Chains A and B, each alone.
Chain A
Amino acid sequence: MIFLVEETLKRIQSHKGVIGTMVVNAEGIPIRTTLDNSTTVQYAGLLHQLTMKARSTVRDIDPQNDLTFLRIRSKKHEIMVAPDKEYLLIVIQNPCE
């Protein structure tokens, strides 16, 4: 099982345009990351708050709804956040133009 996890993460990282992948837990501790520590910590802290806010927004509008995925498209790249109860999977991709 652990092997599958490894393979999944490796596969994600190897996709075209992916700059970095990281897994962060609910306390903001980066479990797995392919970027350097300071960047990871920054992303972890900021995106965690944003995900919480997005989730609460979705649920405020419709309490039976829930956040499944968050995509932030910026000028330079796209940040994709897949939230879970305890963990966050964050991928930064440069979409091909």
Chain B
Amino acid sequence: MQMQLVDKSLGSPQHPLLLAPTRLRTWSRPGGTCGDGEGAGGVPHPIPSLRPPAAGTMEIVYVYVKKRSEFGKQCNFSDHQAELNIDIAPNPELAEQFVERNPVDTGIQCSVSMSEHEANTERFEMETRGVNHVEGGWPKDVNPLELEQTIRFRKKVEKDENYINAIMQLGSIMEHCIKQNNAIDIYEEYFNDEEAVEVTEEAPSAKTINVFRDPQEIKRAATHLSWHPDGNRKLAVAYSCLDFQRAPVGMSNDSYIWDLENPNKPELALKPSSPLVTLEYNPKDSHVLLGGCYNGQIACWDTRKGSLVADLSTIEFSHRDPVYGTIWLQSKTGTECFSASTDGQVMWWDIRKISEPTEVVIMDITRKEQLENALGAISLEFESTLPTKFMVGTEQGIIISCNRKIVCTFSGHHGPIYALQRNPFYPKNFLTVGDWTARIWSEDSRESSIMWTKYHMAYLTDAAWSPVRPAVFFTTKMDGTLDIWDFVFKQCDPALSLKVCDEALFCLRVQDNGCLIACGSQLGMTTLLEVSSGLSTLQRNERNIASSMFERETRREKILEARHREMRLKEKGKAEGRDEEQRDEGLATDLEALVSKAEEEFFDIIFAELKKQEADAIKPKPMPQQPSSEEVQVAQEGEEATGERVGDEEEEDLA
């Protein structure tokens, strides 16, 4: 029986008949290819044939037959001469589709082919350990503890010829150098008094120095940072989860103090009973820290005593909401502080008696001291040069300036004010951050801020002035960028914008020398950045420029405020005048009538002008180009004039 097996699968490279670009049907026999199988019965012959199938492509088929009775028989392989089964001649017609190219330019490099790979190694964990240096090197017969033996050894060495020669020679060299040192100080600073006033034209830049990662498994956001007051070698970071009731189970409450030299392991862990939202070092006593907890309590630590809370306020008298702002006050005892929270209260504490606040102020701007009307406080500001005044930034976007009692308010932000800081050089101006802008205010201008940035794409979370340059401030955003603004250099954009990390940045603190910035992110990563010297050294004339800018903007705002006030008074005046005749609805309809009348007049004047223009166009013109543009200009001016006139007419009507 003959059978034909047609296997549609494209054969393996071992098959003899592959290769043609045309569609190829090959036969493959499991168990390897074999030549003519010899066995009892018929010898299957391969019958290669070129059968042009209906589609028009060449089909090469390799057919072999096998008797059914021979299925399953053992394969007997034999050697076979190579047989040319199919010879596919090249088709010269295809060559006509190509054009010969002569010469051909190809680049060839005769070198070893190489590839570039990058690999990032695992973080190298280092630990500092001390080694006890034990005296060694003594020869075996000398016991280093025995004084006699060592003395004897030394005496023996001193008698050595080599020793004598060596010392003589070395001694003379040494004396020469000693005398040199005594004669001249080669590292003397010439011209110490004149400071180098180089205007470095280098672009502002900042680079990351170090990263402190939260060692906990469950990552919490770094919500507040505080630099150590002496020398700034340490950084206290408060970690907590600010999502309402979404703190994962098992989240640790610890906050850490990091030593800048050792980014792998925090120096000290502070263990409160509830996660800390803010943390501040006492500027007078660098061992004492004040922390505001998520549950509203105030806690303080003494680093000499360890990581457990030294003092904790009682829950009944603490805040009812997380404590968002805590600041130490300047007092003789250095133990007074105050705190603010979104429950609308600002409390004063003395940490010696932290169980109860010494004073409570309710942030109620209607001055009725009602807790229900109070605005939630998010940020707190206190300047030690103005010891009785403080400012509170609220959730509602209003800044309240207080002097133990509420004095005045500034409104202008659309969202909670996350940062509030006075300019260290010009305390009358302060910086706030809230919604998508950062604004600079002056105390004199209550209606609005004097300077503001444009609306950004991401929410701004924190801001700080630079302690060395009055015109530089830093802001952080929810998309993980840090912006450095320098408004004597550029006002509409940040001078430098850096993407620090992919997650949101929550807080920012500048070190006192103005060079190092620490910012904390949502996953607990605190990044330490160093800014270029251009941004951290006082520029020539900068203080004057900055103060003149503040004054100029304040004056502009004052003028605008005065203008607004005038307009409001006028409106009030006209409203009162109207009240004698009609009521408020009458006023509304009258306004509409006025508007329609104004529109009519306006269009009348426009049409009159157009008609005049057409009439002029019909008249013969000596110079076709210019008069028409002049006419257009005149027409435009006429329109503007009529616009103004309409306005004046309106005002005259109203007056």
Please indicate whether A and B come from the same complex rather than being unrelated chains.
yes
A73 to B187, CA, bound (A): 10
Q: Which one of B59-67, B154-162, B316-324 is at the A interface?
A: B154-162
A2 within 8 Å of B (CB atoms): yes
A41 to B169, CA, bound (A): 23
Interface string of B148-174 (1 = CB under 8 A from A): 000001100111001110111111111
A42 to B133, CA, bound (A): 7
- In the complex with contacts A82-B170, A82-B174, A89-B174, A31-B158 CB distance below 8 A: yes
| A79-93 at interface with B (beta carbon < 8 Å) | 80, 82, 84-87, 89, 91, 93
CB distance from B434 to the nearest CB of A (A): 47
Q: Is A12 in contact with B174, judged by CB distance below 8 angstroms? A: yes
Considering the complex, give the chain B residue whose CB is closest to the CB of A94.
B181
CB distance from A50 to the nearest CB of B (A): 15
A11 to B170, CA, bound (A): 13
- Set of chain B residues within 8 Å of A87, measured between Cβ atoms: 162-163, 166-167, 170
A82 to B178, CA, bound (A): 12
Q: Is B182 in contact with A28, judged by CB distance below 8 angstroms? A: no
- Set of chain A residues within 8 Å of B135, measured between Cβ atoms: 29, 41
CB distance from A39 to the nearest CB of B (A): 11
B136 within 8 Å of A (CB atoms): yes
CB distance from A58 to the nearest CB of B (A): 16
CB distance from B241 to the nearest CB of A (A): 46
- Set of chain A residues within 8 Å of B164, measured between Cβ atoms: 1-2, 4-5
- Set of chain B residues within 8 Å of A29, measured between Cβ atoms: 135, 137-138, 153
CB distance from B522 to the nearest CB of A (A): 42
Interface string of A24-66 (1 = CB under 8 A from B): 0101110110000000011001000000000000000000000
A2 to B153, CA, bound (A): 16
A41 to B153, CA, bound (A): 16
CB distance from B168 to the nearest CB of A (A): 6
- Set of chain B residues within 8 Å of A93, measured between Cβ atoms: 178, 181
- Set of chain B residues within 8 Å of A5, measured between Cβ atoms: 158, 163-164, 167-168, 171
CB distance from B174 to the nearest CB of A (A): 5
Considering the complex, give the chain B residue whose CB is closest to the CB of A91.
B174
B179 within 8 Å of A (CB atoms): yes
- Set of chain B residues within 8 Å of A89, measured between Cβ atoms: 166-167, 170-171, 174
- Set of chain B residues within 8 Å of A25, measured between Cβ atoms: 137, 157
CB distance from B263 to the nearest CB of A (A): 26
- Set of chain B residues within 8 Å of A18, measured between Cβ atoms: 178
Interface string of B171-189 (1 = CB under 8 A from A): 1111101110110010100
A4 to B168, CA, bound (A): 8
- Set of chain B residues within 8 Å of A28, measured between Cβ atoms: 136-137
A1 to B185, CA, bound (A): 34
Q: Is B166 in contact with A8, judged by CB distance below 8 angstroms? A: no
A15 to B174, CA, bound (A): 11
Q: Is B187 in contact with A15, judged by CB distance below 8 angstroms? A: no
Q: Is B133 in contact with A31, judged by CB distance below 8 angstroms? A: no
Q: Is B166 in contact with A9, judged by CB distance below 8 angstroms? A: no
- Set of chain A residues within 8 Å of B178, measured between Cβ atoms: 12, 15, 17-18, 80, 91, 93
Q: Is B174 in contact with A41, judged by CB distance below 8 angstroms? A: no
CB distance from B507 to the nearest CB of A (A): 35
CB distance from A31 to the nearest CB of B (A): 5
Q: How many residues of B contact A (CB 8 A)?
A: 30
- Set of chain B residues within 8 Å of A82, measured between Cβ atoms: 170, 173-174
A84 to B169, CA, bound (A): 9
A42 to B154, CA, bound (A): 18
Q: Is B133 in contact with A15, judged by CB distance below 8 angstroms? A: no
A5 to B137, CA, bound (A): 24
- Set of chain A residues within 8 Å of B182, measured between Cβ atoms: 15-17, 95-96
Considering the complex, give the chain A residue whose CB is closest to the CB of B181.
A95
Q: Is A41 in contact with B170, judged by CB distance below 8 angstroms? A: no
Interface string of B467-485 (1 = CB under 8 A from A): 0000000000000000000
A15 to B182, CA, bound (A): 9
CB distance from B443 to the nearest CB of A (A): 46
Q: Is A96 in contact with B185, judged by CB distance below 8 angstroms? A: yes
- Set of chain B residues within 8 Å of A78, measured between Cβ atoms: 181
A91 to B154, CA, bound (A): 19
Contact among B133, B168, B173 with A68 in the assembled complex (CB-CB below 8 Å): B173
CB distance from A55 to the nearest CB of B (A): 14
- In the complex with contacts A29-B137, A32-B158, A89-B171, A17-B166 CB distance below 8 A: no
CB distance from A11 to the nearest CB of B (A): 7
A17 to B154, CA, bound (A): 27
A72 to B171, CA, bound (A): 18
Q: Is B177 in contact with A80, judged by CB distance below 8 angstroms? A: yes
Interface string of B16-32 (1 = CB under 8 A from A): 00000000000000000
Q: Is A8 in contact with B181, judged by CB distance below 8 angstroms? A: no
A36 to B178, CA, bound (A): 22
A81 to B171, CA, bound (A): 11
Considering the complex, give the chain A residue whose CB is closest to the CB of B160.
A86
A87 to B173, CA, bound (A): 14
- Set of chain A residues within 8 Å of B179, measured between Cβ atoms: 15
Q: Is A8 in contact with B171, judged by CB distance below 8 angstroms? A: yes
- Set of chain A residues within 8 Å of B158, measured between Cβ atoms: 2, 5, 31-32
Considering the complex, give the chain A residue whose CB is closest to the CB of B178.
A15
Q: Is B174 in contact with A80, judged by CB distance below 8 angstroms? A: yes
CB distance from B444 to the nearest CB of A (A): 49
- Set of chain B residues within 8 Å of A4, measured between Cβ atoms: 164, 168
A93 to B154, CA, bound (A): 25
Q: Is A86 in contact with B174, judged by CB distance below 8 angstroms? A: no
CB distance from A33 to the nearest CB of B (A): 10
- Set of chain B residues within 8 Å of A91, measured between Cβ atoms: 174, 178
- Set of chain B residues within 8 Å of A69, measured between Cβ atoms: 173, 177
Q: Top 7 closest A-B pairs, CB basis?
A: A27-B137, A8-B171, A82-B170, A89-B170, A28-B137, A95-B181, A84-B166
Query: Assuming A18-B178, A95-B185, what are 10 further A-B pairs, CB within 8 angstroms?
Result: A4-B164, A16-B182, A17-B181, A28-B137, A86-B163, A87-B170, A89-B167, A89-B170, A91-B178, A97-B185
- Of the A-B pairs whose beta carbons lie under 8 Å apart in the complex, a sample of 27, sorted by A's number, is A5-B163, A5-B168, A8-B168, A12-B171, A15-B178, A15-B179, A17-B178, A18-B178, A23-B167, A28-B136, A28-B137, A29-B138, A31-B157, A32-B154, A32-B158, A41-B133, A68-B173, A69-B173, A71-B177, A78-B181, A82-B170, A82-B173, A87-B163, A89-B167, A91-B178, A95-B181, A95-B182
